[in-house]
Chains A and B, each alone.
Chain A
Amino acid sequence: MTASPRTQLARISAWPTERVVVVLIGLLWLLLVFPLPRSLGGSGMLVAVLLLTLDLVLGILTRGLAFAPIWRLDERLTVIRDQAYRSAFRIMRTAIVVMLVLGVVDSALKSFSGQSGPDGVSLRFLLAFIEMLVVLPTAVVAWEQTATRPSVEHGPLPPTAWIILLLAPVLLVAWTALAPSLPVRYVVTRPTGSSFDLTGARCTQFLVVKEVGAGLAGAVGFHAEVCWNGEKAFVVGDPSLPLPSGVLPQQDLMPPGGLSEPELTACAPGVRETDFGTVSQTCTQLIDAGGTLTLIAHGRVSPYPGGIAARPLDIRLVVARDGTLVAVE
């Protein structure tokens, strides 16, 4: 016999606050690990602070049982906590398998749609992983609390316990003030095994990203298929960066401006680089008399949606006519 939807709804609405908070954290975690939406549109830090707030609420409601020093706990609470850690470890195994599967799906979607970006674990996945490690034992304690009631025995919470929640707005203000002045770092890769080739020219792909605060405050960048014929280096794949005339033997067979292949060249830092920051950028190319290519990306990077606390960033990629990488700055 199963309960009617209305009865089930009534049961859920009667849930204690702890369970509601756990479900909210779970939903935000799923948002982080799920490949869709492809980008958080710069709201990654807001999600992180929201998660931190919910973690703190859960910590307060469980009286910090998961991380309490052993001398503060009696024998029964120690047993409850150890059981919670065991459950947390088992849930973590499943969650990591889910993350791995979704990571594979994410990679497949990335290659299928021709999107680029630096290799490695994305910040969105990293946040989900750390959040899971931090909150799981507390979440298990909170979920089981209605049965074991370890916190209630300690009496009502003092109102001062909630003061720690002020940490969230303080962090947001501090981040808004700090983010524009965080140091930048370059990610430059030249993927191997790229099979793209043109008659009369050799090509290689460059991925160049300039990250603010290791990507936590946004990034500017591009990936570009750079080709060279011994006389000139030039970019292929983006008509907004038009192909110079006479660089390829069969150039007249191509559309005006050259090929339009976003998987070869795109003036964007990569889909995962826009989870924690927004960017508006433009790219231009200059080819000097010696045939050296200078590809310039100029953009404004913000750690939040809407361009709040934005700062300007430029990248210059210089490639000689023989394909030698001259500079990235």
Chain B
Amino acid sequence: MTNRLALARLTNRIIEALLGLTLLVVVAVILMSFVGLVPAGLAYLLFVFVTVFTVRSVPVEPGAWLGLRIVRRALVALIAVITVDLLFINGFDIPTLIALVLCDFALGRATRRVAGAPDEILDERQAIWRNRAYRFAYLIFAVAAGGVLLASDFVSSDTRQWLANSLQRGGAFISLIQLLAFLPSMVIAWTEPDRISGADLPRLRNGLAAQLAGLLVALCLVIPIVLSLSIVFAPMRISRITHPETIPGTTASSCMYFGAREEVGVGFGASVPLNAVACWNGTTAYESWGLNASDCLIYAGDFATVSTLECRRSTQPDGTLRFTYRVRVQSMFLPFVTRDVALNLALTKNGKVLQFP
């Protein structure tokens, strides 16, 4: 018995040490993201993980609304719809994912996270209905996941390809993880009568940890909204560089390297580069490299999608070379937040730069 206690203490200390280390790493990553060493998206994801762990460490009450069976059932139905939707959607849909996270958060409150609670804090009655919920959850999972896999493999080669695409896009993975992580809680929420917390349980204090958890959740929701709005409201950051370039085998021409980068948004946004060499010979200006259709597909987005609106290269009758590369940056969190970014190059036949970028 003494050995077991000592082992339990040691395990707790190791877990605490690991948690502390994780927290330090998260703080370090967030700090590094401020100076641009780490993508802001990664820092935000780590922040979300910290919030999840903090929220899970705080005991919760379902509250008046979530204590009602009809509300809980509506919540479970909503989660089921989102889970199925994620399986079928094309592409990675951040707003749907956020809705799912919020629903899961509410589900945790509604069930007081009994499904994941250790045995020591549950009484015999709670343990019995928790285990029963796991049995139902297992059977539901077996029918749902097994059914989808069997059907996709055997119905036709198209259904098989559909599942492969869904797995590649991540929707099927999220659905799977959702079911594995929350199905027992969904069963508990669905089956238990009104006020599952029961009057027999003492009321929880709204302590410091609970306030911290609330603050972190609020920040988790506010940060993406603010950073998404920065795509429109923050000033665009433009950097440019040009220098003469020597192209082997071209003697009668002069060439110039044009490098530019336009960045929109703070943390969440996109960076659109242009790297090209253009030459001129007194008769006309022409592209050496970097001003083709394939060069209009180079961009990077953090929680933002980038789509090319225009990619056009032309030579005017007076020998002037013109290149236009225009993209639309769209927030993944707030799809109505968009901003157009354009990179232009206009170079005369005599090497005079009329416009860049």
Give chain A's interface residues, CB within 8 Å of chain B.
79, 81-83, 85-86, 88-89, 92-93, 96, 100, 118-121, 123, 126, 129-130, 133-134, 136-137, 185-189, 211, 214-215
> Which residues of chain B come closer than 8 Å to A214, judged between CB atoms?
153-154
Contact present for B134 and A89 (CB under 8 Å): yes
Residue pair A130, B128 in contact (C-beta under 8 Å): no
Question: Which residues of B sit under 8 angstroms from A121, Cβ to Cβ?
Answer: 149, 152-153, 160, 163-164, 167
Query: What is the bound-complex CA distance between A134 and B142, given in angstroms?
Result: 8
CB-based nearest A residue for B158: A187
Q: State whether B152 touches A186 (Cβ < 8 A).
A: no
Selected contact of A119 from candidates B145, B154, B160, B176, CB within 8 Å: B160
- Please state if B131 and A79 are interface contacts (CB–CB under 8 Å): yes
Q: Give A137 to B135 CA distance when docked, in angstroms.
A: 9
Contact of B146 among A133, A137, A187 (CB under 8 A): A133
- Tell me which residues across on chain B come within 8 A of A82, comparing CB atoms: 128, 131-132, 134-135
**What residues of chain A lie closer than 8 Å to B135, measured between beta carbons?**
81-82, 85-86
B67 to chain A, nearest CB (A): 24
Give the A-binding residues of B (Cβ under 8 A): 128, 130-132, 134-135, 137-138, 141-142, 145-146, 149-150, 152-154, 156-157, 160-161, 163-165, 167, 173, 176, 180-181, 184
With A and B bound together, what is the CA distance between A86 and B142 in angstroms?
14
Given A185-B156, A187-B157, decide whether A96 and B176 contact each other with a Cβ distance below 8 A. yes
CB-defined contacts of A136 to chain B, threshold 8 Å: 138
Q: Closest 7 interchain pairs by CB? A: A119-B164, A82-B131, A85-B135, A86-B134, A120-B160, A120-B164, A187-B157
Chain B residues positioned under 8 Å from A92 (CB to CB): 138, 141, 180
A10 to B36, CA, bound (A): 60
Q: CA of A189 to CA of B158 in the docked complex: distance in angstroms?
A: 10
The answer to whether A85 touches B160 (Cβ under 8 A) is no
Q: Which residue from chain A places its CB closest to the CB of B184 in the assembled complex? A: A89
- CB contacts (< 8 Å) of A89 on chain B: these are 134, 137-138, 141, 184
Q: Which residues of A contact B181 (CB under 8 A)?
A: 93
Which of A86, A88, A96, A129 meets B130, CB within 8 Å? A86
Give, as a whole number of angstroms, the nearest-CB distance from A314 to chain B. Answer: 18
Q: Find chain A residues with CB under 8 A from B153 CB.
A: 120-121, 123, 126, 214-215
Q: Is the CB of A120 within 8 A of B150?
A: no
Known: A82-B132, A86-B130. A120 touches B161 (CB 8 A): yes
Chain B residues within 8 Å of A189, by CB? 161
Q: Which residue of A lies closest to B139 (CB)?
A: A85
Q: When the two chains form the complex, which single residue of A85, A100, A123, A130 contacts B134, counting CB atoms closer than 8 Å?
A: A85
Which residues of chain A have C-beta atoms less than 8 A from B180's C-beta?
A: 92-93, 96
In the bound complex, CA of A189 to CA of B160 (Å): 12
| Residue among A123, A126, A189 facing the most chain B CB atoms (10 A cut-off) | A126
- In the assembled complex, the Cα of A85 lies from the Cα of B133 at a distance in Å of 9
**Which one, B128, B130, B138, B160, contacts A118 given CB within 8 A?**
B160
A-B contact list, 15 entries, CB within 8 Å: A82-B132, A86-B130, A86-B131, A86-B134, A88-B138, A119-B160, A120-B153, A120-B160, A121-B160, A129-B145, A130-B146, A133-B141, A136-B138, A189-B161, A215-B153
A126 to B160, CA, bound (A): 12
Q: Can you name the residue of chain B whose Cβ is closest to the Cβ of A75?
A: B128
List B contacts of A130 (CB < 8 A).
Answer: 146, 149-150
Cβ-defined contact, A185 with B157, below 8 A: yes
- Residue on B nearest A97 in the bound complex, by CB: B180
Interfacial chain A residues near B156, Cβ < 8 Å: 185
The distance in angstroms between the C-alpha atoms of A120 and B168, with both chains bound, is 9
Nearest B residue (CB) for A122: B153
Please name all residues of chain B whose beta carbon is closer than 8 Å to the beta carbon of A186 when the two chains form the complex: 157
- Nearest B residue to A209 via CB reads B157
For B164, the chain A residues whose CB sits under 8 A away are 119-121
Bound-complex Cα distance A216 to B174 (A)? 29
Complex: A88 Cα to B180 Cα, angstroms: 12
Q: Is the pair A120, B130 in contact by a Cβ cutoff of 8 Å? A: no
Q: How far is the CB of A56 from chain B (nearest CB, A)?
A: 18
Measured between beta carbons, the chain A residues less than 8 angstroms from B150 are 126, 130
Smallest CB-CB separation from B181: which chain A residue?
A93
Give the complex CA separation of A72 and B164 in angstroms: 42
**Docked CA distance A297–B176 (Å):** 38
Q: Are A83 and B138 also in contact (CB < 8 A) when A93-B180, A120-B161 are?
A: no
- The distance in angstroms between the C-alpha atoms of A232 and B237, with both chains bound, is 51
Q: Is the CB of B152 within 8 A of A137?
A: no
Further 7 A-B residue pairs, CB within 8 A, beyond A121-B149, A121-B164, A133-B146: A79-B128, A82-B128, A85-B134, A89-B137, A130-B150, A185-B156, A186-B157
A93 — which chain B residues lie within 8 A by C-beta?
A: 180-181
Which residues of chain B have C-beta atoms less than 8 A from A211's C-beta?
157
- B145's partner among A118, A133, A188 (CB-CB below 8 A) is A133
Q: Quick one: closest B residue to A211, CB to CB?
A: B157
Q: List residues of chain B with CB within 8 A of the CB of A137.
A: 138
C-alpha spacing A186/B149, complex, angstroms: 19
